[in-house]
């Protein structure tokens, strides 16, 4: 491992890419501390800490996690990259149901650039809408337990907030694209990961403060460390897990030459949906609790209270939603009909399975079974922080690093980045990070 790290800086091009990536990530972190005009950041941060303690997270807390804490201070990067992620997911879902977009997605690089352009337009639209409603939310002191967040509310403040937050999201999107082109790794994913990791010092401070005051025993820290490494190891195995379907190509004799006859396999991922299923489920399950903070209605408050972290009904519905969205997203991105037709078109077949309809049914059957295993694991990882928070009596900020969205994103992005670093090292005849074999990326 140490020799591989040393070898990285022996390759000029790779060294340059790493320094560019690090520099752009530093720019992102600096922007997370530049305040939006007209906001009392200290009062807003106090409110976020209060709702974090009482509910163990909310929809606003999820946005704050992706933005690296920028939402609780309402800085210029308060929306983070979430509008871009939402726009990308919407376009991906629309591609599966709109024939024109589906045709465009099959046109190679030209189609990819066109869809990417639509994604950027959608990002601007979503960011403008979200920032406008955030400005309306900030103007009402009743939603912040009487605290005055905005000194001079009105249309001037709303317009400034919309322009500032939308421009901040566009700038983050540009940073991600620059990392993708000139740096190393997936730019958008690295920005999200940096935002999540930036919360680690605050989580560590809360943990050791509780230890100092006697709220947590030293033995509890050992248990938490064991759980943490166990979760990281399990997520790594499931993220890398594949079901390899063997494929044989028929041999063709043309003149004196023999074509085809190769043996290969189709890698079916155990965790196809991954973090996207959790994001969908969180958006739905946390919406009532978030809406309850805006609507002071006693009946609605009681319903929303039963759907917050720690409640049994919340845990059951949350797990079921994750399992549903795992199957839903897998059905969107995995098309066994197209796969079987492509195999038949190029003379490939699965040994023991007839080409055509039988191959489609077989691929669908296998994918359904392995998706169940992946969905159950993702559901367990998603609710594991709630178990840690209730059992070991630790703050939600600390418990969030033991599962859920944070650990899936961080582990997946790190594996993908290591894979790209290994590719550069092996291309220049250096050993990679893993001596026994190549590491696989997420896709």
346 within a domain of the structure (yes/no): yes
Answer with the one of 188, 220, 251 that is the final residue of a domain: 188
Q: Are residues 180 and 322 in the same domain?
A: no
Residue 193 lies in a domain: no
Domain end residue (candidates: 164, 188, 212): 188
> Based on the domain organization, do 159 and 52 belong to the same domain?
yes
Whole-number Å distance between alpha carbons of 305 and 286: 10
Whether residue 216 is found in the same domain as residue 174 = no
Does 219 lie in the same domain as 102?
Answer: no
Which pLDDT band holds residue 435 (cuts at 50, 70, 90)?
A: low
Whether residue 183 is found in the same domain as residue 206: no
Give yes or no: residues 314 and 282 share one domain: yes
Same domain, 184 and 204: no
Domain of 181, in residue numbers: 1-188
Rounded to whole angstroms, the Cα distance separating 440 from 443 reads 8
What sign does the CA torsion over 291, 293, 295, 299 have? positive
Helix H or strand E encompassing 258: strand 257-260
Distance separating alpha carbons of residues 179 and 333, to the nearest angstrom: 26
Q: Is the dihedral of CA 234, 236, 239, 245 positive or negative?
A: negative
**Pair of tokens at residue 123:** 């990002």
* Helix spans in 32-183 (H): 41-55, 59-66, 70-73, 82-97, 99-105, 108-139, 155-182
How far apart CA 163 and CA 161 sit, in angstroms, is: 6
pLDDT of residue 54: 43
Non-local CB neighbours of 148 within 8 Å, separated by 6+ positions: 40, 43, 141
Confidence band of 211 (pLDDT split at 50, 70, 90) = confident
In a domain, residue 418? The reply is: yes
Read off the pLDDT of residues 144-198 as tens digits, 9 standing for 90 and up: 767 778 878 888 889 999 999 999 999 999 998 899 888 888 888 888 888 888 8
Q: Is residue 13 part of a domain?
A: yes
Last residue of a domain, one of 188, 222, 242: 188
Q: How many domains does the structure of the chain reveal? A: 2
**426 or 376, which is more confident:** 376
Mean pLDDT of 294-307: 65
DSSP state of 10: T
| Chain-centroid distance, C-alpha 10 | 32
Q: Residues 74, 80, 82, 84: is their CA dihedral positive or negative?
A: positive
Mean pLDDT of the chain: 81
From the number of C-beta atoms within 10 Å of its C-beta (0-12, 13-18, 19+), residue 279 rates as buried
pTM as predicted: 0.79
Query: Could you give the angle at the alpha carbon of 34 between the alpha carbons of 32 and 37, nearest 5°?
Result: 130
The answer to whether residue 194 is domain-embedded is: no
Q: Are 422 and 433 in contact (CB under 8 A)?
A: yes
With 0-12 CB in 10 A as exposed, 13-18 as middle and 19+ as buried, what is 427? exposed
Q: Which long-range contacts (CB under 8 A, 24 or more apart) does 118-121 make?
A: 118/91, 119/84, 119/87, 119/88, 119/91, 120/87, 120/173
pLDDT in tens, 402-413: 777 788 888 888
| pLDDT tens track for 62-77 | 677 777 777 777 888 8
**CA pair distance 360, 377, nearest whole angstrom:** 26
Q: Are 167 and 113 in the same domain?
A: yes
Instruction: Give the CATH number of the domain where residue 84 resides.
Output: 1.10.3370.10
Q: Are residues 304 and 370 in the same domain?
A: yes
Q: 227 and 111, same structural domain?
A: no
The verdict on residue 102 lying in a domain is yes
Q: Both 52 and 142 in a single domain? A: yes
Helix 275-285 and helix 59-66: axis angle, to 10°? 140
Same domain (yes/no): 152, 301: no
Which pLDDT score, from 0 to 100, does residue 414 have?
A: 86
CB-based burial label for 251 (10 Å; 0-12, 13-18, 19+): exposed
Closest CA to 431 of 4, 23, 139: 4
Alpha-carbon distance of 418 to 149, in angstroms, equals 43
């Amino acid at each position: 491992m140490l020799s591989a790290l040393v070898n990285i800086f022996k390759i000029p091009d790779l060294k340059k890419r790493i320094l560019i990536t690090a520099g752009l990530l530093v720019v992102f972190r600096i922007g997370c501390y530049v305040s939006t005009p007209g906001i009392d950041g200290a009062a807003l941060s106090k409110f976020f800490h209060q709702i974090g303690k009482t509910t163990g997270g909310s929809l606003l807390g999820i946005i704050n996690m992706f933005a690296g804490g920028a939402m609780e201070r309402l800085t210029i990067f308060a929306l983070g990259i979430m509008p871009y992620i939402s726009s990308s997911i919407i376009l991906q879902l629309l591609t599966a149901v709109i024939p024109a977009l589906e045709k465009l997605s099959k046109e190679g690089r030209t189609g990819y650039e066109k869809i990417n352009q639509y994604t950027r337009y959608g990002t601007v639209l979503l960011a403008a809408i979200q920032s406008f409603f955030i400005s309306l939310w900030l103007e009402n002191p009743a939603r912040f337990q009487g605290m005055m967040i905005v000194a001079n509310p009105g249309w001037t403040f709303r317009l400034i907030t919309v322009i500032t937050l939308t421009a901040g999201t566009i700038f983050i999107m540009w940073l991600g694209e620059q990392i993708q082109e000139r740096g190393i790794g997936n730019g958008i994913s690295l920005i999200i990961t940096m935002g999540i990791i930036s919360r680690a010092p605050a989580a560590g401070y809360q943990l050791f403060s509780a230890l100092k005051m006697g709220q947590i025993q030293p033995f509890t820290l050992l248990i938490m460390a064991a759980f943490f490494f166990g979760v990281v190891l399990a997520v790594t195995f499931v993220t890398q897990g594949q079901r390899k379907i063997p494929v044989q190509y028929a041999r063709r004799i043309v003149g004196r030459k023999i074509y085809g006859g190769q043996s290969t396999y189709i890698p079916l991922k155990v965790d196809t949906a991954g973090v996207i299923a959790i994001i969908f489920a969180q958006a739905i399950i946390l919406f009532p609790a978030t809406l309850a903070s805006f609507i002071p209605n006693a009946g609605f408050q009681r319903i929303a209270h039963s759907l917050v972290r720690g409640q049994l009904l919340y845990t059951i519905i949350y797990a079921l939603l994750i399992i549903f969205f795992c199957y839903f997203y897998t059905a969107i991105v995995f098309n066994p009909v197209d796969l079987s037709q492509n195999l038949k078109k190029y003379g490939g077949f699965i040994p023991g399975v007839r080409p055509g309809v039988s191959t489609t049914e077989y691929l669908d059957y296998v994918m359904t079974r392995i998706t169940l295993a992946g969905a159950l694991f993702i559901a367990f990882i998603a609710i594991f922080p709630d178990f840690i928070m209730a059992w070991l009596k630790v703050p939600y900020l600390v418990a969030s690093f033991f599962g859920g969205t944070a650990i899936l994103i961080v582990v997946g992005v790190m594996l993908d980045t290591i894979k790209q670093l290994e590719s550069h090292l092996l291309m220049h005849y250096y050993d990679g990070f893993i001596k026994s074999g190549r590491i696989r990326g997420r896709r």
